[in-house]
């Protein structure tokens, strides 16, 4: 077995930008649509004040690579690790420090969905939530649509003002921090929700017709960002992982319940990628639900690994010498 490599956060960022991550995700979802990639449905545990332990993974049978990403989201931070494994012999190919990778994955999948589901002439975005994921969410939408203005709302004034300033400084797009949610939503073509809300705050009548929504914050059942009734207005709904939505999204569970006909309307994003999906003419609302899935993480990890190898990056992992377990204390 060849020795795997450890790829640092700095190395991962040096070989992949956010627009490149969107294209890597598009490639990975093509693999899923062709039946050559499949997800391990996310598992998670909670403790303390909302801390969560997550594990997701995927099989890229066509590329001979499988892998998992695991992390603990705590009040003190998180440090995800992505492990890529040779599907033929089980050896570790790479371990990738994956905090920035996760930001690119989460932002990038919203960017890809926006490209497929929003109006092509969309120019105004509302960013609801001003946490660590927010700047990549804005940048990903800006990578696929020519944004002229971004409004930002968060319940914490300092956070929304800081994000607006960062959008203007790093992306060169006019950005306004609004005092009220309604003000942020006014005239928006694209709305991205990236919050840790436990009570739905986006109501069914809060948006005019024609808007595309990226809902990325509520990925466990104790969280919810939009009223379940909002889904009745959605002409097209898609998700990165439909099984994970069914298992973990309270918003969809409360809206669709046991109605299989309703669940059948929720399409995998990979279907839209494979079919060259576009927003239906005259659509009222379109909504993309992102849960985070192994195929997305591995899509980026595999591309980063290829680029790291081609440029000589990565630190060799120590060789493993197998040892029989000790059966007694002596």
Alpha helices, DSSP H only, in 40-120?
99-117
Q: What would the pLDDT profile of 78-119 be if each residue is shown by its tens digit? A: 899 999 999 999 999 999 999 999 999 999 999 999 999 999
Backbone dihedral angles phi then psi of residue 208, each to the nearest 5 degrees: -75, 170
Contact call for residues 130 and 162 (beta carbons, < 8 A): yes
Distance CA 30, CA 280 (A): 21
> What CA–CA distance (Å, rounded) separates 253 from 263?
9
pLDDT higher than threshold 70 for residue 64? yes
Please tell me the distance from the alpha carbon of residue 12 to that of residue 243, in angstroms, as a whole number: 29
| β partners of residue 180 | none
Q: Going by C-beta distance under 8 Å and a sequence separation of 6 or more, which residues neighbour residue 20?
A: 303
Distance CA 185, CA 289 (A): 18
* Two tokens, residue 49: 């004040």
Contact 215, 288 (CB under 8 A): yes
- Residue 1's pLDDT is 52
Q: How confident is the model at residue 207 (pLDDT cuts 50, 70, 90)?
A: very high
Exposed, middle or buried by CB within 10 Å (0-12, 13-18, 19+), for 287? buried
CB 136 within 8 A of CB 103: yes
**Mean pLDDT over all residues of the chain?**
95
Nearest alpha-carbon partner for 115 in 224, 235, 25, 221: 25
The string of pLDDT tens digits covering residues 16-62 is 999 999 999 999 999 999 999 999 988 889 998 889 999 999 999 99
Q: Please, what are the domains in the chain?
A: 5-101+294-316 (3.30.1780.10), 114-289 (3.40.50.720)
For 219-233, what is each residue's pLDDT tens digit? 889 999 999 999 999
Q: pTM of the predicted model, to two decimals?
A: 0.92
Average pLDDT on 107-132 reads 97
Q: Which of 6, 15, 93 is nearest to 308 (CA)?
A: 15
Angle between helices 99-117 and 18-33 (to 10 degrees): 70
Structure token digits, residue 98: 């994956």
DSSP secondary structure string for all residues of 210-259? TEEEEE-S--STT---B-GGGGGGEEEEEES-HHHHHHH-HHHHHHHTT-
Question: Which pLDDT score, from 0 to 100, does residue 43 have?
Answer: 87
Long-range contacts of 245-249 (CB under 8 A, 24+ apart): 245/289, 245/291, 247/41, 247/42, 248/42, 248/44, 248/219, 248/220, 248/221, 248/291, 249/218, 249/219, 249/221, 249/289, 249/291
Work out the pLDDT band at 2, boundaries 50, 70, 90: low
Share of the chain above pLDDT 90, in %: 91
Which among 190, 24, 218 has a CA at the least distance from the CA of 118?
190
């Amino acid at each position: 077995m060849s020795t795997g490599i450890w790829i640092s956060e700095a190395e991962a960022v040096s070989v992949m930008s956010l627009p490149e991550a969107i294209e890597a995700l598009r490639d990975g979802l093509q693999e899923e649509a062709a039946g050559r990639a499949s997800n391990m449905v996310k598992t998670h545990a909670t403790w303390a004040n909302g801390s969560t332990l997550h594990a997701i993974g995927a099989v890229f049978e066509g590329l001979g690579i499988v892998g998992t990403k695991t992390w603990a989201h705590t009040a003190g931070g998180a440090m995800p690790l992505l492990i890529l494994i040779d599907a033929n012999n089980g050896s570790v190919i790479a371990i990738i420090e994956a905090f920035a990778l996760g930001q690119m994955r989460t932002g990038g999948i919203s960017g890809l969905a926006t490209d497929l589901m929003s109006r092509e002439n969309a120019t105004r975005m509302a960013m609801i939530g001003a946490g660590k994921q927010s700047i990549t969410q804005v940048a990903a939408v800006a990578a696929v649509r020519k944004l002229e203005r971004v409004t930002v709302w968060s319940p914490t004034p300092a956070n929304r003002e800081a994000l607006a300033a960062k959008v203007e400084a790093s992306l060169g797009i006019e950005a306004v921090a609004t005092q009220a949610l309604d003000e942020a939503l006014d005239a928006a073509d694209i709305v991205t929700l990236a919050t840790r809300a436990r009570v739905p705050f986006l109501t069914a009548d809060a948006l005019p017709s024609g808007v595309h929504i990226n809902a990325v914050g509520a990925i466990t059942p104790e969280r919810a960002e939009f009223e379940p009734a909002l889904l009745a207005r959605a002409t097209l709904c898609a998700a990165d992982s439909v099984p994970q939505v069914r298992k973990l999204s309270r918003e969809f569970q409360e809206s669709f319940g046991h109605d299989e006909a309703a669940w059948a309307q929720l399409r995998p994003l990979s279907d839209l990628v494979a079919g060259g999906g576009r927003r239906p003419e005259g659509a009222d609302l379109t909504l993309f639900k992102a849960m985070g899935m192994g195929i997305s993480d591995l899509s980026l990890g595999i591309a980063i690994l290829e680029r790291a190898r081609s440029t000589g990056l990565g630190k060799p992992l120590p060789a493993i010498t197998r040892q029989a377990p000790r059966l007694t204390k002596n």
